[in-house]
Amino acid sequence: MKKYATQQEHFWASEFGNDYIKRNQGDALLASNLHFFVHALNQCRELKTCIEFGANIGMNLFALRFLYPQMGLRAIEINQTAAKALRNLLGAEHVFEGSLMEFQANDPADLVLVKGVLIHQNPEILPSVYKKIYDSSSSYILLAEYYSPKPVELPYRGHLGYLFKRDFAGEMLDMFPDLMLLDSGFSYHRHPSFPQDDVTWFLLKKKP
Over the stretch 136-189, which tens digit does the pLDDT of each residue have? 999 999 999 999 999 999 998 777 888 999 999 999 999 999 999 999 999 999
Predicted structure pTM score: 0.93
HSE value, Cβ hemisphere, 13 Å, CA-based, for 130: 17
Over the stretch 66-83, which tens digit does the pLDDT of each residue have? 999 999 999 999 999 999
Instruction: For each of the domains in the chain, give its residue range(s) and CATH number, in order of start.
Output: 7-206 (3.40.50.150)
Q: Using an 8 Å Cβ cutoff, are 131 and 141 in contact?
A: no
Residue 17 scores a pLDDT above 60: no
HSE value, Cβ hemisphere, 13 Å, CA-based, for 43: 15
- CA distance to 68, 89, 110, per residue, from 62 (Å): 10, 8, 17
Least confident of 2-6, 87-91, 105-109: 2-6
At residue 174, the pLDDT reads: 98
Which residues, including other chains, have CB under 8 Å from residue 123's CB and lie 6 or more apart?
Answer: 151, 164, 166
Strands (E), 106-198: 109-115, 137-145, 152-153, 164-165, 179-187
Q: What are phi and psi for residue 203, nearest 5 degrees? A: -100, 115
